[in-house]
Amino acid sequence: MKIKNGYILREVAGEAVVVPSGEVSLNFQGIISLNETGALLWKQLEQGCEQKDLVQALLEEYEVDAETAEKDVEEFLKLAGDAGLIDG
């Protein structure tokens, strides 16, 4: 899985936001705000990774159990997928 071209993670006033760029901005007008966990997952997806890698990143960064990490990753991927932000 990987973030589709045309979306960039930026920090604005201490907040992580995703903004469209280039041709994508013609069809997607707005920004997406991410919490700290969402920003971590986004950065992993920019490099390309599998769902298990995202779960592992959460386990390494936060004091959560595997079940919680898996649930959080699934929820993030569903939202990002529904918004058309990821490939694969």
Per-residue pLDDT tens digits for 15-71: 999 999 888 877 877 889 999 999 999 999 999 999 999 999 999 999 999 999 999
Domain residue ranges of the chain, discontinuous segments joined by +: 2-87
Helix boundaries (H) for the chain: 24-27, 36-47, 51-61, 66-82
Q: At 82, is the secondary structure helix, strand, or coil?
A: helix
Q: Which residues pair with 12 in a beta bridge?
A: 15
Please give the pLDDT value at position 23: 84
CB 53 within 8 A of CB 1: no
Structure tokens at 33: 């705000």
CATH of region 2-87: 1.10.10
